[in-house]
Amino acid sequence: MFTLILQIALGIMAVSTLLYVIRVIKGPTVPDRVVALDAIGINLIAMTALVSILLNTSIFLDIILLLGILSFIGTIAFSKFLEKGEIIENDRDR
């Protein structure tokens, strides 16, 4: 019963990811796409968690943490790129 619920949840997450992908593809502006990508990252976290419950293992917990960090960094990087045109600024004085 519990497995079934988990699988349904996974299915829902997958469908939601698919919808986000549609947003990534269609998204009229770039920020739309970036936000969709960020959300996909969060979805991935959820799915990894569900899979690791389903597989009855704790080895994927690292991935969850990493994904959280990466999706944050990625979104920040994109945002900065969209705003300033570059990600890492150097030569501040200039």
Partner 1 sequence: MQLLHFAILSPFVFAFIIPFLAKYAKRVHTGWFVLILPVLLFIYFLPMIRMTQSGETLRSVLEWIPSLGINFTVYVDGLGLLFALLITGIGSLVTLYSIFYLSKEKEQLGSFYVYLLMFMGAMLGVVLVDNVMVLYMFWELTSLSSFLLIGYWYKREKSRYGAAKSLLITVSGGLCMLGGFILLYLITDSFSIREMINQVQLIAGHDLFIPAMILILLGAFTKSAQFPFYIWLPDAMEAPTPVSAYLHSATMVKAGIYVIARFSPIFAFSAQWFWIVSLVGIFTMVWGSFHAVKQTDLKSILAFSTVSQLGMIISMLGVSAAALHYGHTEYYTVAAMAAIFHLINHATFKGSLFMAVGIIDHETGTRDVRKLGGLMAIMPITFTISLIGTFSMAGLPPFNGFLSKEMFFTSMLRVTHVDLFNVQTWGALFPVLAWAGSVFTFIYSMKLLFKTFKGNYQPEKLEKQAHEAPIGMLISPVILVALAVSLFFFPNILSYSLIEPAMNSIYPTLLDSHEKFHVHISQWHGFTAEVLMTLGIIVVGTIGYLTMNRWKGIYKLFPSKLTLNRLYEKLLTIMEKGSYRVTKQYMTGFLRDYLLYIFAGFIILMSGALVLKGGFSFTTEGMAKIGIFEMILTLVMISATAATVFARSRLTAIISLGVVGYTLALFFVIFRAPDLALTQLVIETISVALFLLCFYHLPKLRLKKKTRTFRMTNFIIALGVGMIVTLLGIASSSQRTKDSIASYFTKHSHDLGGGDNVVNVILVDFRGFDTMFEITVLTIAALGIFSMIKTKVKEEGKSGE
* Interacting residues toward partner 1 by CB under 8 A: 7, 10-11, 14-15, 17-18, 21-22, 24-25, 30, 33-34, 37, 40-41, 44, 47-48, 51-52, 55, 57, 59-60, 62-63, 66-67, 70, 73-74, 77-78, 81, 85-87
- Alpha-carbon span 61 to 70, nearest angstrom: 14
Q: How far is the CB of 3 from partner 1 (least distance, A)?
A: 11
Nearest to 39 by CA among 51, 25, 21: 21
Nearest to 41 by CA among 22, 83, 69, 81: 69
Q: How far is the CB of 23 from partner 1 (least distance, A)?
A: 11
Q: How far is the CB of 87 from partner 1 (least distance, A)?
A: 6
Contact 47, 10 (CB under 8 A): yes
